[in-house]
């Protein structure tokens, strides 16, 4: 089977609707046809200097939300990045293949460092896309399901894979393909509908957390920014607020944008198993079953993560040894 890899950072108590619709729904859908590995990338989270106890707690919660959303540990490996030391090892090797200018062109670093200023930023944030490339190349990944915001980082991973093949010989790395579903590639902030929904957004009211109380979700949707006229029409340019709500509604309820606009019944085509499903009334909101799901799976979590890390590490070791050999590192006897 071809391989799929993707990951999320444990940087909040709950994933948000952008993480869910942009990535997680696709992880669940792909696990049937692919050999899937899904990671909680705690090493990446260190770039924002989290409080240690909170990071540990969020690492487990993030993994639990993968399972609650329908990632099935019988079919997919779920693991914590720091439990597989090969990620950090390959990141170092790849950093020696990455041009300084190339890394400097990453827009996410530019945006994030502009927010905190040079004194607030760190080298880890700068080399973040190199660690991400290591995450992906380590598993000879064919497909990476992510949101639109990760497209440029994916492009760097592809460039690095090609460079390894050119400099170290064919078969050094698999060149990964992005899997970005157009309709849900970018879920927008409810208060600023031209910006992506993001946990670090300045105004928390524009965000829907998937573990939020349905009542609060309904309230957030009701107070979403729309526009002055009453026409319901999909047009990102002139009606970003209305268009964003239509996209969310359509993605959650399985309606086409046009059906959603006309209030027609949906086909219940998505999301797959474990997803929010149909909603009461006219407002889409995540199903409370997801909350129960998180509690139910918490007990199984340690075993799942242990097994996931062991199996992931076995694959990762093979890739790393191949590359260490090709760059000329002396093998320990
Ligand atoms: N608004 C979004 N629409 C679609 N997809 C999105 N993703 C994130 N926001 C949206 C996708 O979710 C996955 C999680 O990636 P991450 O854990 O690295 O988080 P992130 O991209 O850093 O998410 P945030 O909320 O935007 O965090 P901050 O504010 O810290 O930057 C990825 O596949 C991402 O594409």
Give the model's pLDDT for residue 302: 93
Residue 284 lies in a domain: yes
pLDDT for residue 181: 95
Residue 193 belongs to some domain of the structure: no
Task: Assess whether 53 and 164 both reside in one domain.
Answer: yes
Asked whether residue 240 is assigned to any structural domain, the reply reads yes
Whether ipTM > 0.90 holds is: yes
Name the domain count of the chain: 2
The pair of structure tokens assigned to 186 is 């970018």
Give pLDDT tens digits for 97-146: 999 999 999 999 999 888 888 788 999 999 999 999 999 999 999 999 99
Sheet holding 35-40, edge to edge: 76-80, 35-40, 3-8, 143-145, 177-179
Residues 84 and 138 grouped into a single domain: yes
Residue 198 forms part of a structural domain:
no
Annotated binding-site ranges for ATP: 9-11, 18-19, 147-149, 187, 196-200
Average pLDDT over residues 12-41: 97
Between the two ends of the chain, the Cα-to-Cα distance in Å is 34
Confidence of residue 27 (pLDDT cuts 50, 70, 90): very high
Check whether residue 212 and residue 143 sit in a common domain. no
Is 120 in the same domain as 36?
yes
* 255 and 220 belong to one structural domain: yes
Same domain, 264 and 323: no
- Give yes or no: 195 in active site: no
Per-residue pLDDT band for 283 (boundaries 50, 70, 90) equals very low
Residue 32 belongs to some domain of the structure: yes
Kindly write down the DSSP assignment for every residue of 40-92, as one continuous string: E-HHHHGGG---HHHHHHHHHHHHHHHHHTT--TTTEEEEEGGGSTHHHHHHH
Is 196 annotated as catalytic? yes
Q: Average pLDDT for residues 298-306, to the nearest whole number?
A: 88
Ligand 1 atom closest to 44 (CA)? 18
Answer whether 311 contacts ligand 1 (Cβ < 6 A). no
pLDDT for 178 beyond 50: yes
What's the pLDDT score for residue 233?
Answer: 86
What integer pLDDT is reported at residue 296 of this predicted model? 65
pLDDT of residue 297: 61
Q: Is the CB of 290 under 6 A from ligand 1?
A: no
Query: Quick check: CB of 143 below 6 Å from ligand 1?
Result: no
222 and 181 belong to one structural domain: no
pLDDT at 292: 64
Reported confidence tier of residue 232, pLDDT bands at 50, 70, 90: confident
Which CATH number belongs to the domain containing residue 117 in this structure? Answer: 3.40.50.620
**21 is in which domain, residue-wise?**
3-185+299-327
Strand partners, 193: none
Residues 50 and 19 in one domain: yes
CATH number, domain containing residue 251: 1.10.240.10
pLDDT at 192 over 70: yes
- Catalytically annotated residue among 1, 182, 195, 196: 196
Per-residue model confidence (pLDDT) at position 284 = 47
Q: Average per-residue pLDDT in the chain?
A: 90
Q: Does the C-beta of 195 come closer than 6 Å to ligand 1? A: no
Q: Which atom of ligand 1 is nearest to the CA of 188?
A: 1
**What is the per-residue pLDDT for 229?**
83
Residue 269 pLDDT class (50, 70, 90 cuts): very low
Tell me if residue 182 is catalytic: no
289 lies in the same domain as 304: no
């Amino acid at each position: 089977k071809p391989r799929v890899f993707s990951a999320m950072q444990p940087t909040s108590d709950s994933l948000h609707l952008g993480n869910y619709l942009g990535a997680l729904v696709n992880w669940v859908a792909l696990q049937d046809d692919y050999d899937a590995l899904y990671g909680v990338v705690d090493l990446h989270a260190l770039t924002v200097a989290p409080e240690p106890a909170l990071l540990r707690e969020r690492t487990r919660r993030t993994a639990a939300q993968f399972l609650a959303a329908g990632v099935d540990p019988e079919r997919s490996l779920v693991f914590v990045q720091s439990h597989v030391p090969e990620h950090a090892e390959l990141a170092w090797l790849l950093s020696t293949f990455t041009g300084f200018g190339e890394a400097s062109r990453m827009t996410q670093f530019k945006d994030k460092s502009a927010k905190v200023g040079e004194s607030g930023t760190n080298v880890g944030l700068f080399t973040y896309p190199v660690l991400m490339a290591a995450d992906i190349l380590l598993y000879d990944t064919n497909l990476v399901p992510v949101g639109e915001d990760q497209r440029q980082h994916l492009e760097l991973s592809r460039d690095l894979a090609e460079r390894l093949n050119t400099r170290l010989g064919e078969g050094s790395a698999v060149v990964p393909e992005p899997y970005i579903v157009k309709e849900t590639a970018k879920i927008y902030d409810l208060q600023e509908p031209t910006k992506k929904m993001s946990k670090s957004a300045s105004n928390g009211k524009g965000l829907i957390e998937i573990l939020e109380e349905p009542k609060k979700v309904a309230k957030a949707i009701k107070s979403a920014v729309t526009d002055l006229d009453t026409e319901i029409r999909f047009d990102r340019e002139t009606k970003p607020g209305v268009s964003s709500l239509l996209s969310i509604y359509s993605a959650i309820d399985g309606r086409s944008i046009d059906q959603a606009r006309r209030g027609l019944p949906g086909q219940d085509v998505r999301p797959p198993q474990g997803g929010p499903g149909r909603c009461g009334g006219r407002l889409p909101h995540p199903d409370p079953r997801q909350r129960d799901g998180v509690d139910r799976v918490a007990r199984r979590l340690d075993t799942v993560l242990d097994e996931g890390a062991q199996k992931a590490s076995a694959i990762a070791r093979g890739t790393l040894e191949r590359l260490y050999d090709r760059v000329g590192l002396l093998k320990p006897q």
